[in-house]
Amino acid sequence: MTSEIERAALLLNESRFRLALANSPIVVFEQDLDLRYTWIFNPKLGYAAQEVIGKTDDDIMEAGAARAIGALKRSVMKSGEPKQQEVLASAPNGPISYYDLNIEPRYDGNGEIIGVICSATDITERKLAEQAREISAQKSRDQLTAFIRYAPVSMAMFDMNMNYMSVSDRWIKEFGKGHSDLIGLNHYQLLPDMPLEWKIVHQRCLAGASMQNDEDLWVQADGSKYWLRWAVQPWTDFAGVVSGIIIAAEDITEKMEAKAELIRTSQAKQSFWERLANLTDRERQVLSGALRGMGNKAIAAHLHASTRTVEGHRARIYIKARISNVIEIVNEAAAVGLTLAEIIAHLDS
């Protein structure tokens, strides 16, 4: 009676097991030492259970898939260690399916390995979706590299190790150090005198940040100075994982030098006006009259006048103005880009 009850319980459990696996993506099976199927629940690849029992993977699968999966199962029987791996399988001339395969050694009552027991989950839909995203991402990446290659500005694309993946012609011209092709080269090896601060920026952007600087000074090893405007942002793969960074940079050295010169000139003009501001009203009138006598012309023209001509003005005027001579005023004004008319107008104001 007890054995009948146990048998009934086993049948009930098996029935529940079959019911649980029905229409699921999971197949469970056992194989002996020859890798012949001894039982199988919820078979795939278009087979019924009776078509699989007693056969090997070589009998029911495409040859390449059978060899690869058979090698995994034999390694488990040899080592006694379970394995889990994603595999592909198909019946001969059938469509390819992908499985998440778990293989465990199967033991007898004496603890001897007598085969394997496996579960395989059909992940075909997921793998095909991943492949579709990868193809889409690859197309997007190809489009991105092409965009960078033909960009009219200095732009470069790097992998996680800061190796060049794509680069614009403008970048090669400005930062290529004489190279005609930078693909595969390391950014830091190409530009070894790069500021440490920039490397820190790159690492932060490789971690997902986006950064920019509108005015950044780069002092190179030879002492030459370059002003740059730059922006750095990460690029991602199909799964949204950061796979590298893109750098756009513009050489603004001429602009910054012009800006510095403008500031210098403005400060010099201010200093010049402050000097004139120290004159008394009478001295301003006398100096204005002296300059009017020179003619309302551009200072640059007067720089070529002879000292005799300029000093031909009355000496007492220069003395009263506490200025050694008009030449000094003319030279100083010319240095800051002022004209006689501007000086006279300022003195008369």
Per-residue pLDDT at 107: 94
CA distance 123 to 26: 9
Residues 91 and 163 in one domain: no
Structure tokens at 275: 């000097």
Predicted local confidence at residue 5, as pLDDT: 47
Tokens 């290529």 map to which residue?
176
Shared domain for 275 and 298, answered yes or no, is yes
Among residues 217, 251, 285, which one ends one of the domains?
Answer: 251
Is residue 250 pLDDT above 60, yes or no? yes
Share of the chain above pLDDT 70, in %: 70
Residue 128 located in a structural domain? no
Same domain for 7 and 48: yes
Q: Indicate whether 323 pLDDT > 90.
A: no
Residues 223 and 143 occupy one common structural domain: yes
34 & 108 share domain: yes
Q: How confident is the model at residue 75 (pLDDT cuts 50, 70, 90)?
A: very high
Residues 65 and 167 in one domain: no
- 200: pLDDT strictly greater than 60: yes
Q: What does the pLDDT read at residue 11?
A: 47
What is the reported pLDDT for 338? 63
Instruction: Say what the pLDDT of residue 302 is.
Output: 42
Domain that holds residue 299: 261-348
Whether residue 127 lies inside any domain: the answer is no
We report the CATH number of the domain holding residue 45 as: 3.30.450.20
Q: Domain for residue 129, yes or no? A: no
Contact between 244 and 157 (Cβ < 8 Å): yes
- Read off the pLDDT of each residue in 138-159 and give the average, rounded to a whole number: 86
pLDDT at residue 211 in the model: 94
Which position has the higher pLDDT, 239 or 27?
27
More confident residue, 292 or 91: 91
Domain count, the chain: 3
Is residue 187 located within the same domain as residue 276?
no
Lowest mean pLDDT, pick from 69-73, 214-218, 309-313: 309-313
| Average pLDDT of the segment spanning 339-344 | 65
Q: Is pLDDT above 80 for 12?
A: no
User: Does 131 map to a domain?
Assistant: no
Sort 295 into a burial class: Cβ within 10 Å, 0-12 / 13-18 / 19+. exposed
- Give tens-digit pLDDT for 330-341: 566 656 666 666
What pLDDT is attached to residue 141? Answer: 80
Tally Cβ neighbours within 10 Å of residue 77.
18
Q: Is the pLDDT of residue 30 over 80?
A: yes
3-state DSSP of the chain: CHHHHHHHHHHHHHHHHHHHHCCCCEEEEEEECCCCEEEEECCCCCCCHHHCCCCCHHHHCCHHHHHHHHHHHHHHHHHCCCEEEEEEECCCCCCCEEEEEEEEEEECCCCCEEEEEEEEEECHHHHHHHHHHHHHHHHHHHHHHHHHHCCCCEEEEEECCCEEEEECHHHHHHHCCCCCCCCCCEHHHHCCCCCHHHHHHHHHHHCCCCEEEEEEEEECCCCCEEEEEEEEEEEECCCCCEEEEEEEEEECHHHHHHHHHHHHHHHHHHHHHHHHHCCCHHHHHHHHHHHHHCCCCCHHHHCCCCHHHHCCCCHHHHHHCCCCCHHHHHHHHHHCCCCHHHHHHHHHC
Residue 130 lies in a domain: no
Q: What is the pLDDT of residue 286?
A: 61
Query: 23-32, 71-80, 208-217, 301-310: lowest mean pLDDT where?
Result: 301-310
> Do 229 and 277 share a domain, yes or no?
no
Q: Is the pLDDT of residue 308 over 60?
A: no
State whether 219 and 272 are in the same domain: no
The listed range with the strongest mean pLDDT (154-158, 308-312, 316-320) is 154-158
Query: Which pLDDT tens digit goes with each residue over 109-140?
Result: 999 999 999 999 999 888 887 877 777 677 77
Domain membership of residue 29 (yes or no) is yes
Rounded to 5 degrees, what are φ and ψ at 155?
-150, 145
Same domain, 111 and 200: no
* Mean of pLDDT values over 153-163: 94
Domain boundary pick from 251, 284, 311: 251
Per-residue confidence band for 264, with pLDDT thresholds at 50, 70 and 90: confident
Q: What are the residues whose beta carbons fall under 8 Å from the beta carbon of 67, sequence distance 6 or more?
A: none
Among 15-19, 72-76, 229-233, which stretch is predicted with the lowest mean pLDDT? 15-19
Task: Please state the rounded mean pLDDT for residues 57-70.
Answer: 94
Where a domain ends, among 122, 152, 170?
Answer: 122
- Structure tokens that stand for 175 in this block: 């930062």
Range in 12-16, 230-234, 246-250 with the lowest mean pLDDT:
12-16
As a whole number of angstroms, the distance between CA 333 and CA 273 comes to: 10
pLDDT band at 347 (very low <50, low <70, confident <90, very high): low
What percentage of the chain exceeds 90 in pLDDT? 41
Same domain, 140 and 220: yes
pLDDT for position 239: 76
How far, in Å, CA of 156 to CA of 163, rounded? 10
Whether residue 105 is found in the same domain as residue 176: no
To the nearest whole number, what is the mean pLDDT of the chain?
A: 79
